[in-house]
Amino acid sequence: MEIPFNRFYLTGKELEYVRQAQSLEHLCGDGPFSKKCASWLQEKTGCRKALIVPSCTAALEMAAMLLDIRPGDEVIMPSFTFVSTANAFVVRGGVPVFVDIRGDTLNLDESLVEAALTGRTRAIVPVHYAGVGCEMDALVALAAERDLPVIEDAAHGILASYKGRGLGSIGHLAGLSFHETKNVVSGEGGALLINDARFERRAEIIREKGTNRCEFLRGAVDRYTWVDIGSSYLPSEIVSAFLWAQLEQSEDITKRRLAIWRQYHAGLADLERQEKVRRPVVPEHCGANAHLYYLLLPDEARRESFIRALAERGVEASFHYVPLHSSPAGMRFGRAHGDLALTDEIAGRLVRLPLWTAMEPAAVDRVLQAVEEAVRAF
């Protein structure tokens, strides 16, 4: 394809920092680069504590361990999300309870959550789709009333905000992703953000294979030992060094992506006025990070022909998600709350346009041209 769907961005400093990590003779986890990344995330997101982990999936798995999710425990989440939101809890026997989304932001519909709560509900997991914040005030208030933790799936959310607060700093725990397809990348990568002090010590232990090695390294104990459940959730310094080169530049990365996003948004305003497509909605109180740009087409048949028409013009478009409640594992492990009509409908109509950090305005124009032509053919 002449215009691919995604192309990861390099700042140019990645290999230099990897070389530095090598010369510091500290390649396993929690070295200087990992610490730099963690403090940077604390400062920029406003979270209480950040731990660099191998992926957002790992961060969510750690959250499930920290909450002591047990077989049969229910976890509220949207069905319109990536599988890891659910899997992280399912591996511990948790039952995802899928709730429908809002028609504007495609985020969890906060007004439907209360009716989905049962005596077995153990957590609420909002997903900030496309880096646009969920209605956190309502979700946090409801959770507080029921004494439930809120776990933010902020995989898309780096440097985005809700009412001035960084995504990932609002719930009790949160996961960020640095997967190749996200705004800031280290190939595979992620962070666990902790905002509730009661999880801090245990999170370090779970991340260090169930040992109190962190306390040992701080000199708080004279040897380290196995104290709790845990796994291997420290990424190598090679990954963190690479990630540092990206985080350092991430405000610039966001700016560049926002410029592309705005070019799409302005260029598609007429088609929306003609009711040919619907553009993304970003509420006033949400600070976006241009993680992705999507359109809603009239129906699934026209989405198929639209993607084909774009491909014929050298433009690679894509879609997601297969709603989790209708996937084989989702049916086996989860439960739908209500009919999830909007989730089903939107998942069939959504198409994502190419958006990557180094995309030139001329390439965006070419996509816009292809979209015009494809839509005319409806």
Ligand X SMILES: *Cc1c(COP(=O)(O)O)cnc(C)c1O
Binding site for ligand X (CB under 6 A): 55-57, 81-82, 84-85, 127, 153, 155-156, 177, 179, 190
Task: Say which residues have a Cβ less than 8 Å from residue 202's Cβ, sequence separation at least 6.
Answer: 66, 228
Structural contact between residues 239 and 186, judged by C-beta atoms closer than 8 angstroms: yes
Cβ of residue 38: shortest distance to ligand X, in angstroms?
Answer: 16
Which residue reads 């104290």 in tokens? 227
- Which one-letter amino acid corresponds to residue 345? E
Cβ closest to ligand X, residue 184 vs residue 245: 184
Cβ closest to ligand X, residue 78 vs residue 287: 78
> In 17-142, where do the E strands start and end?
49-53, 74-78, 95-99, 121-124
Cβ closest to ligand X, residue 153 vs residue 208: 153
Cβ closest to ligand X, residue 133 vs residue 363: 133
Q: In whole angstroms, what is the distance from residue 176 CA to residue 41 CA?
A: 10
Cβ neighbours of 165 (radius 10 Å): 15
The 8 Å CB, 24+ separation contacts for 15-24 are: 16/245, 17/241, 17/242, 17/244, 17/245, 18/238, 18/241, 18/242, 20/241, 21/237, 21/238, 21/240, 21/241, 22/238, 24/237
Cβ closest to ligand X, residue 83 vs residue 311: 83
Cβ of residue 4: shortest distance to ligand X, in angstroms?
Answer: 18
Cβ closest to ligand X, residue 81 vs residue 195: 81
Cβ closest to ligand X, residue 123 vs residue 371: 123
Cβ of residue 109: shortest distance to ligand X, in angstroms?
Answer: 17
Cβ of residue 284: shortest distance to ligand X, in angstroms?
Answer: 23
Cβ of residue 85: shortest distance to ligand X, in angstroms?
Answer: 5
Structural contact between residues 207 and 51, judged by C-beta atoms closer than 8 angstroms: yes
Cβ of residue 55: shortest distance to ligand X, in angstroms?
Answer: 3
Cβ closest to ligand X, residue 42 vs residue 79: 79
Cβ of residue 9: shortest distance to ligand X, in angstroms?
Answer: 16
Cβ of residue 320: shortest distance to ligand X, in angstroms?
Answer: 8
CA distances from 30 to 5, 8, 50 (A): 34, 25, 12
Q: In whole angstroms, what is the distance from residue 38 CA to residue 229 CA?
A: 23
Q: Is 141 exposed, middle or buried (0-12, 13-18, 19+ CB in 10 A)?
A: exposed
Cβ closest to ligand X, residue 11 vs residue 81: 81
Cβ closest to ligand X, residue 60 vs residue 268: 60
Structural contact between residues 279 and 295, judged by C-beta atoms closer than 8 angstroms: yes
∠ CA 338-344-346, rounded to 5°: 125
Q: In whole angstroms, what is the distance from residue 53 CA to residue 76 CA?
A: 24
Cβ of residue 106: shortest distance to ligand X, in angstroms?
Answer: 11
Structural contact between residues 103 and 111, judged by C-beta atoms closer than 8 angstroms: no
Cβ of residue 82: shortest distance to ligand X, in angstroms?
Answer: 4
H or E stretch including 335?
A: strand 335-336
Structural contact between residues 323 and 330, judged by C-beta atoms closer than 8 angstroms: yes
